[in-house]
């Protein structure tokens, strides 16, 4: 089976390829010649994921799945949420986003947070959503060199390390994206 994963993000692509069974061949947006950034204009994580999957199906004709992820921080009322990738501005810079988050949390004792991923599948005429959540907390400073995005400041529940300190094999057992992908894989079985 051949599916497009609607992403240009090579880190996400690598994570997802490690999770999927070998009988599912993944193509990236680059593989199908889609060089544009697909608009993320919805006001929910699920809405953005489905919009991206629908865009690929409509414009390129491929069956597709797309994800959208948000970091929801309790002390910030769920922010940055759907705006996580562009929290510090439209340039979508990971370091800027992390710096802004840490600055906004400097006077807060409640550092509880969760990552939420929604995967939208547009397959033939079916449209299905899969959810994954990882509970945890925001550290006071970045730690670790693995991963991307907010991984250096997100400490998953039950761990002393951040996502950026964990090897990919361990992160792929417990992450929000891994949980949503597991639900997607179960669907294909």
> Does the pLDDT at position 54 exceed 90?
yes
Q: Which residues are catalytic?
A: 68
Question: DSSP assignment of 93-135, as one string?
Answer: -HHHHHHHHHHHHTT-S--EEEEEEEEEEEETTEEEEEEEEEE
Please name each of the domains of the chain with its CATH number: 2-188 (3.90.950.10)
Q: Is-above-0.85 flag for pTM?
A: yes
pLDDT per residue over 5-53, tens digit each? 999 888 888 878 888 888 888 999 999 999 998 988 999 999 999 999 9
């Amino acid at each position: 089976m051949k599916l497009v994963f609607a992403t240009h993000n090579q880190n996400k692509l690598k994570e997802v390829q490690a999770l999927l069974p070998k009988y599912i061949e993944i193509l990236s947006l680059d593989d199908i010649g889609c060089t544009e950034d697909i608009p993320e204009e919805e006001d929910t994580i699920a809405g953005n994921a489905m919009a991206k999957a629908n865009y690929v199906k409509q414009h390129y004709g491929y069956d597709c799945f797309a994800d959208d992820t948000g970091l929801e921080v309790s002390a910030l009322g769920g922010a940055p949420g759907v705006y996580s990738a562009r929290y510090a501005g439209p340039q979508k810079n990971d370091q800027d986003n992390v710096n802004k988050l840490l600055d906004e949390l400097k006077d807060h004792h409640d550092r509880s947070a969760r990552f939420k991923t929604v995967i939208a599948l547009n397959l033939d005429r079916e449209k299905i959503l899969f959810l994954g959540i990882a509970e945890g907390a925001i550290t006071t400073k970045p730690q670790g060199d693995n991963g991307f995005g907010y991984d250096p400041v997100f400490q998953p529940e039950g761990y002393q390390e951040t996502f950026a300190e964990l090897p990919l094999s361990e992160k792929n057992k417990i992450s929000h994206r891994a949980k949503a992908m597991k639900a997607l894989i179960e669907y294909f079985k």
